[in-house]
Structure formats: structure tokens, C-alpha cells
Structure 1
Amino acid sequence: MILLIGLPIVMAEFTIGRKAQSDAVGSFEKLSPGGDRLAPGEPWKIAGIMGVAAAFMILSFYGVIAGWLFFYLLNYLTGNLWTAPEGGYGDFFGTFIASSSQPIIWQFIFMFVTVGIVYVGVKKGIERANKILMPLLGVLLIVLSIYGLTLGGAKEGLTFLFSPDWSALSDPSIYLAALGQAFFSLSLGMGALITYGGYLSKKERLPGAAASVVSLDTLFAIVAGLMIFPAVFAFNINPAEGPGLVFVVMPDVFNSFTLGGVFGILFFFLLSAAALTSAVSLLEVAVAYFIRKFSWNRKKATLIVGFIIFLVGIPSALSQGVLAGYGLGGLDIIDSVDFIASNIFLPLGGLIIAIFMGWGWKKSDALRDSDFGDTRLGRTWIFLLRYIAPVAILIVFLGSVGAFN
């Protein structure tokens, strides 16, 4: 999914953004006015609108989970989690997320910081922090993954992570999950790469940028798996617990060695910083759109949009407590919002982007604007956008909704 669909669409979004120098919706409006180069514009901007909507939805629950990170960071800074609390880390986490007030408070704190960064501007805020914090996070993940391999559950963890169950491929939902994860992880279809592409200069080489984004994203997903799953089996924890693994497994890991509390501080600080970078990307998508659409200044747009997203996220904050049991098809509220955004809006937005770039643009223009030029690699990229990506996305999407049953 990443190689045949994700990477080509990353390139397409970068190309669209840099060419248009606008927000997610404005880029489609600007680049598709009709004429002999591009098809008429109105249908195409649906992808941008869906991207802005997806960014709203994703940040609404992402801010909740990131607030949990802030809460844990504070508890490590105060020393409260340097040793296992009464009942263990699992009970501590469960009690916190089931509270009727604490998750909302920490969601608000995280959104307040996110709004503050976007308020002062992307370049002054997030770019400076990224240059220091993200390499540090990468190093820490590698160190913790090496330590994880020394734990008693390393063999079981590696087997769980890398031994495929081929029978699972007969379930269409597997393909949708893989597609949704690829789009979510690479920020595809939500307008983030188009928006950031608008900040790139002509000096930037887009193929190299796209390849580095995809390869590093995939590499550190694997590193994170090496960090988590050996510890999961070493401490006899259910590997299907989802986000809770970070908040239950890693504290147990830190508690197992000397000065583990220091590692806990570093881990949750850097993970919080990583969450901020993603949240800023999501908020910037919506803010850039509102700035252009309503002629607001950055400060006004950031405050209004940020507050609305906070309000929309409150049900997700309460989904593990007073609103537990509500959701779609047996999912809780967080997973329901995630499913709609990641498995419906993002793939459909990606489908439109692939068709827009592959068929709406002249091939020669697409190859030139993407920095590929008329090369074999460039022609392969156009082929994937025209035939492979749209067909694969459509088949996976239709299969997931039972169209082939």
C-alpha cells in the first residue's frame, strides 16, 4: 500500500502544493480553472474539502490521546510513575481515561499548546523545534528497541511482529486497514502535504523529499514495533490493546531498569513533541483554508478553529468513561471518528488526488512540475497514479463496504 499507492500520492500532493502555493482547497481551485491543461475545477476541490474535514476529525481525537501523553509526562516529572502505582500501570491508566474531567483538561492543555505554535507561524514554531527534538526521539526509540530485544519476550515479540498470517488476506477489511494506516501515517488525503508543499521553494527536489518521508516513516514504524512488542510479551500484556500499550507497557519497561524514570521523562517528552508536530500539521490545514476563505488573519483563524476542534473532541475525551459504549458498529467514539476519517475520507481524497494528477494534468506538465522530468521513474509514477492507485483504492474501498459480497 505504501509503495504502490502511498509514495505516488505523496509526490502528487507535494507537486500540487508547490505549484499552487495555496491551502488544500485553494490549490485545487487554483490549478483547475478549465482550459486546455486541466479539467474543469469544481469537482476536484472535493478532495481538498474532504481533507480539511478529515484534519478536523483526526485532530479532535488526536488531541485527546496526545493529552494523555502530557499527563504521563507530568507524572514522570513529579516522580509519581518512577515506581509502579498501587494496582499497576494498567489500573492507573484505566482510572485516568475513565475520569469525567481529567481527559478533557489534558486535551485542552495540549490543544492550547498546539494553537500557540500555529498562532506564531509554522516556520517560527514547529520547524525550529523539529530540527532538535525529532532526531532525539529517533535516537531514543532505537536505544529502547535495542533494550526491548534483551527482555524475555523478545522471541515471542519478533514472531508476533514479523510472522504473517496469510489467511488474514482473505478478509477485505485487512486491505482497508492497511490502506487507512498508510494514509494516516503519511498524512495523505488530509491536505497536510499539499499545505506544506505550498511552503516549498523551487530549489527543493520533490522526489527526494517524498522518498525520505516514506522511508523514514516506515523505518521508525518498524523500530517502534521492536520497542513495544518484545516488552508486551515479556510483561504478559495483550498485544491488541492499541494505544494503551504505550501507557502500560513502556512504564513497565522503564520500571525494570535503573534510572528508568529518567528514560520515562525523555520518552514521554519526545513523544509529546512528536504528537505536537502532527497536531500542528493538522491544524495548519484548517487554519490555512480559513485564512484564505474568509480573509481572516492567522491569529484569528487559529484561535477560532482550534477552539472548535477542542469542542468537537470532547466526546472522544469521554469515550472511555461516561460515554463508553457509544459509537458506530461496536466501536467507541474515538475509533468511530478514526474509522470515518482514516478509512473513508482519506482514501477517497487520495483517489481524487491520484486522478487529478494522473489524468487532469498533461503528462509533460506533471513530469516537469514534479522534478522527475521525462525519465523512466517519472513515467512509472504517472502510470501508478493513472492506473494502479485509483483502481486499488476503489477495489479496497468497495470490498470493505461489502460491495462484492
Structure 2
Amino acid sequence: MSGMAQSSSRDFFASRLGFILSASGAAVGLGNIWGFPTQVASNGGGAFLLVYLVLIAFVAFPMLVIEMAIGRHGQANPVDSMRSLSPDPKAQKFAAGVGWLGLSVPCAVLAFYSIVGGWIICFFLAAVCQLLGWGELSQWLEGFSVERNLFGTIIFYVLTILIVQGGVKQGIEKWSTRLMPALFVLFAVLFIYILMQDGAVAGLKQYLIPDFSKIWNKDLILAAMGQGFFSLTIGGCSMLVYGSYLSKKENLPKMALSVTLVDTGVAFIAGLVVMPAMFVAMKQGVEIYAADGSLLNSDTLVFRVLPMMFESLGMFGQFFAVIFFLLLTIAALTSSISMLECPVTLVSERWNTSRNGTTWILGTVIALLSVVVLYHFAELFGLVVMLATQYLQPLAALMFCLFGGWVWRHRAKITELEHGFPGVSQHWFGRLWPVYIKYVCPVFVVAVMWFSLFSQ
């Protein structure tokens, strides 16, 4: 196996905390801070939150374990890791195809994600300019002109490339262990500040108190499942790649649980900040809900409602706008570095190329895709988002699940988990999880795909 031969020279995460924060960083992105509160606000507040938490535990977590296990078993890029699951040449060929499908996900997601990341950087810079009294520049940075979007996207790519070229220990781990704690501290400060504003408590109540009559709503359940998937980047390949950098000494289910808890924690805290902020904004006269109870600007909630709220709160508001958009920039970067890492791993391992050059070349190629999307925004942006999140990612998740459940032999799976978790075969997790991955998870994934394709 070409992947196996190189495993000895591979970089590994230096510490357990480094892995947890890096993998959580990969999972914690705009899906948690931008997408999750929007979904909660659109789907009945607390009821959505409750269903989401249940589905994370019963569907997303077991699938995260299989993705990380495949990566650690192969200790290689996604294509070679998938091939290592079976000795049969025919199965290997098919498995390599699944690996390539998996790799298309982070590349396609990065093409649109970097554009949104660019918007966020521009809003951050606009908030800084506002504080410094540079009103004209601030207005340009808040306007959605093509030049401004291009400027933000390029900065976002350069930051992503600079971190990824440092490798696992010096790049991804070093920056994740700095950025993730900063994320939590900034959130805590923002939460305390928003709770002191008029109207915040009403938002908090809607978020935390479920309306049990809505819990069995089919749309709500499937929206929660889709959100859980994308928030943990199931099928996004990043977890498989990060798993391949994980030492055999670590307890895999425990690591996956830590990542799940940190990721879900961030989504939960984002809701604690954004939902009360929406109600504060409503008190200030900002329109959020339409007459039928639907969100007016669901796609741009974070970019429209929150800046208006910050503006209405004067000087302090401006200061907190800087903090909030810095926080979003951090969340976006910890995800984008994991996306770029996927193709970089493959090319640098398979063709033995230098990491620096590979990172710049691949980063530039995907950046050019983003530029094409930017110049044909109306036609292409929604299309790329739909292709990546509704077709490629669920399909890759399904294939990882089917291969991990059916092609990878039961004994081999358990052996992989026994590294770092001796006696797992006697443990309830070791007994239940292989069956669950085989029969239950694929049904859930198909349900998410069916819903996202046919409920438009």
C-alpha cells in the first residue's frame, strides 16, 4: 500500500488536547455560529435544540467514530485510507473512488466557504474602521461589491494557506490551540454583554424552553439532522484526514466524543448569543420575522441583524461588533484549514511533493474557482452550495458509512478500536456500534438526502 509505506514519516498531533481542539475547530465553523442559530430561529427555538442534541448523540457521533477510525487505520490520505479497508483488488478500486468523492467535498465547500469567510473578514475590518472613525472605508467594507468580496476572499485564502503550509504540529495544531480557546472567551464576553440588554431574556426563553408540540414535526427533525451532519463535517473528509494523524495510543471513541461535545457546545453557545441578540434587535425596531413567523433574512441573519443591533448600542456596540466578527473569522479559519489539508495531504503523500509548494498551488487553484463564482455570483453561488452540501457531502457520508459498515470486516474494525481502548469488544460500545453503523446510520443518511432533495 502506498499509503502504508509512508505512514512512518507522517506528522502526528503532538498532544491529545491539540487533536481535540484541531478536530473541533474543523467541525466548528460557520455552520455552528451562522447556520445553527438561524435554524433554531426558523424551527421553533427550544424544540429544534432538543431534537438536534438527540440526533447528534445517536447519529452524528457514531458516524464520526467510523470516519476517524478509517483514517487512523489507513494512516494515509483519504484515497489510500479507503483502499486499506479491503484486500480485494475490485473493492479497493471502488474504495479509491469513494476516497476521491470524499476529497471533492472539502474542495467544493471551500470554493463557496471562502467567499463567506471573506465577507466576515470585511465586516471585521469595517467594525475596526468604524471604531477608528474611518466611515467611508467602513461603508465600502460593508457593501457587497464585487471588488470588496474579492478583497475579502483573497485575504481569507492567504490566511488559510499560511496556516496549512506549516503542517500538522506547526500549523494546524499550533493555531487551533490558540484560536479555539480565544473563541470560547470571546463568546463568554459577548453572552454576558448581550444578556444585559433589553429584550435578551425573551430570546433566551424561546431558545431554551421547547414547545413539545413541535418536536415530532418531520421538517424540524430532518432539518436538525442535516444541521448536525454539516456541523460535525460528517462526510466532509476532514475527520478522516485528522484521524490519520492520530496516534494509535489514543482511545478513538473517547476522542470522537470530545470533538462532538466541543462542537455541540459551540453551536449551543452560539445560540445563547444570537437568539437573545435577535430579540434585542427586535426591541430596537429591527424587523426579523415576517408576518407568517418565518425569518426575513435567514441567509444573512448574522450580516444584517447583528451589525444593526451593535450600531444601535453606540460605542460599546461598535467594540463588540469587532469582537463578534473576529470570533466568526476564527471559526471560519479553523474549518477552512481542515478543508485545504485534505487535498494537500493527498498530493504531498502520493507524489512526494513539498508541502509549501503543494499548499500554495492547490490553494490558488481552489481560489480561482471562488473568483469564477464571485464574478457570476447570482448564477453560481447557490448552485455550488447546493452541489456541495446537498449532494456531495451526504453521498460521501453514506459511502463512508457503507464501506465502514459492510466492506471493512467486523474483526478489523474492533482491532482498530482496541488500540487505545483495550477490551472494547466486551464493552457495550464495541458490541453496539458496528451493528449501528451497518444498519441504522445509513437509513438516517438516506433520510437526510431524501429530505434535502425532495423538499425544495
Which residue, 297, 304, 314 being the options, matches 1:248?
Answer: 304
Unaligned runs of 5+ in 2: 1-54, 290-294
1:11 to 2:62 alignment:
no
| Partner in structure 2 of residue 23 of structure 1 | 77
How far apart are 1:310 and its partner, in Å?
0.9
Match of 1:370 in 2: 417
Match in the other structure for 1:266:
323
Letter of the 1:311 counterpart = L
TM-score under structure 2 length normalisation = 0.76
Equivalent position to 2:389, from 342, 353, 360: 342
Given that 2:74 and 2:244 are in contact with CA atoms closer than 8 Å, whether structure 1 keeps it comes out as yes
Do the aligned residues in 2 keep the contact of 1:24 with 1:192 (CA within 8 Å)? Answer: no
Q: CA deviation at 1:5?
A: 1.9
Q: Which amino acid aligns with 2:261?
A: S
Q: Structure 1's 365 and 33: CA in aligned 2 closer, same or farther, altered over 3 A?
A: closer
| Aligned partner letter, 2:333 | L
Q: 1:379 to 1:197 in 2, by over 3 A?
A: same
| 2:251 alignment counterpart | 205
Take 1:349 and 1:175, find their aligned partners in 2: how far apart are those partners?
21
Shift of 1:23: 0.9
Residue equivalent to 1:70: 121
Aligned in 2, Cα 1:347/1:166: closer, same or farther, shift over 3 Å? farther
Aligned with 2:97 (options 31, 42, 46): 46
Residue identity opposite 1:41 in structure 2? Q
Indicate how the Cα distance of structure 1 residues 243 and 394 shifts in structure 2: closer, same or farther if over 3 A, else same: closer
Deviations 1:173-217 (A, max 9, x none): x55543332222112212111111111111222112111111111
User: Deviation digits for residues 232-260 of structure 1, max 9, x if unmatched?
Assistant: 12212426324533233333444426544
Mapped to 2, the partners of 1:209 and 1:20 lie a distance apart of 18
Number of residue pairs aligned between Structure 1 and Structure 2: 384
* TM-score normalized with structure 1 length: 0.85
Cα distance in structure 2, aligned partners of 1:177 and 1:318? 31
Q: Is the 8 A contact 2:120 2:325 kept in 1?
A: yes
Match of 1:138 in 2: 184
Query: Following the alignment from structure 2 to structure 1, what is the Cα–Cα distance between the partners of residues 66 and 449?
Result: 20
Q: Which residue number corresponds to residue 16 of structure 2?
A: none
Aligned match of 1:183: 229
Superposed CA deviations along residues 128-185 of structure 1, whole A, max 9, x for unmatched, are 122222112112212322332333333442354354585695555x555433322221
Q: Which residue type is aligned with residue 40 of structure 1?
A: A
Residues 1:351 and 2:398 are matched in the alignment: yes
Name the aligned partner's letter for residue 208 of structure 1.
K
Amino acid in structure 1 at the alignment position of 2:414: L
Shift in Å at residue 369 of structure 1? 0.9
Supply the distance in 1 between the matched residues of 2:80 and 2:140 (Cα, whole angstroms).
Answer: 42
* Structure 2 match to 1:388: 440
- Kindly state the Cα deviation for residue 124 of structure 1 after the two structures are TM-superposed: 0.8
**Contact conserved, 2:67 with 2:400, CA < 8 A, in 1?**
yes
Deviation larger for 148-157 or 178-187 = 148-157
23 and 143 in structure 1: CA distance in 2 versus 1, 3 angstrom threshold: same
Aligned to 2:339: 282
Q: Show the 5 A alignment for 1:229-240.
A: 229-236=275-282, 237-238=287-288, 240=295
Corresponding letter in the other structure for 1:267: F
Amino acid at match of 1:376: W
Single out whichever of 225-234 and 356-365 deviates more from structure 2: 356-365
Residue 16 (structure 1) shift: 1.0
Please give the secondary structure, in 1, of the residue aligned with 2:153: helix
**Partner Cα separation in structure 1 for residue 165 and residue 56 of structure 2:** 33
Instruction: Output the CA distance in 2 between the equivalents of 1:213 and 1:13.
Output: 13
Instruction: Indicate conservation of the 8 Å contact 2:191/2:272, yes or no.
Output: yes
1:126 is aligned to 2:172: yes
Output the CA distance in 2 between the equivalents of 1:254 and 1:84: 17
Once the two structures are superposed, residues 86-145 of structure 1 have per-residue CA deviations (whole angstroms, 9 ceiling, x without a partner) of 9xx9xx599622x12110121011101211221222321221122222112112212322
* C-alpha contact (below 8 Å) 1:176/1:343 kept by paired residues: no
Amino-acid identity (%) = 33
Decide whether aligned partners of structure 1 residues 217 and 83 sit closer, same or farther in structure 2, where only a CA change above 3 A counts.
Answer: farther
- Whether contact under 8 Å (1:154, 1:234) holds in the other structure is yes
Question: Could you tell me which residue of structure 1 aligns to residue 49 of structure 2?
Answer: none
Q: Structure 1 residues 230-239 or 280-289, which shifts more? A: 230-239
Q: Against the structure 1 CA distance between its residues 33 and 5, is the aligned structure 2 distance closer, same or farther, given a 3 Å change threshold?
A: same
Are 2:242 and 1:196 aligned? Answer: yes
Contact kept, 8 Å, 1:29 with 1:45, in 2: the verdict is yes
Which of 397, 402, 405 matches 2:449? 397
| Cα 1:271–1:95 shift into 2, 3 Å | closer
1:161 aligns with 2:207: yes
Q: Which amino acid aligns with 1:358?
A: G
Contact 1:55-1:282 at 8 Å conserved across structures = yes
CA RMSD, Structure 1 to Structure 2 (Å): 2.9
2-structure distance, mates of 1:297, 1:355: 34
Map of 1:149 onto structure 2: 195
C-alpha displacement at 1:345, in angstroms?
1.5
